[in-house]
Amino acid sequence: GDSGGPLVADGVQIGVVSWGTPCAKGKPDVFTRVYSYIDWIHETISENHDEDDPIDDIEDDDDDENDED
For residue 32, tell me if it sits in a domain. Answer: yes
For residue 59, tell me if it sits in a domain. Answer: no
Distance CA 32, CA 48 (A): 23
pTM of the model: 0.52
Q: Give the three-state DSSP class for 58.
A: coil
What is the tally of structural domains in the chain? 1
pLDDT tens-place string over residues 4-57: 889 899 999 999 988 877 776 788 788 899 999 999 988 988 887 666 655 555
pLDDT band at 59 (very low <50, low <70, confident <90, very high): low
For residue 13, tell me if it sits in a domain. Answer: yes
For residue 68, tell me if it sits in a domain. Answer: no
Q: What is the DSSP string of 22-69?
A: TT-TTS--EEEEGGGGHHHHHHHHHHTS-TTS-GGG------GGGG--
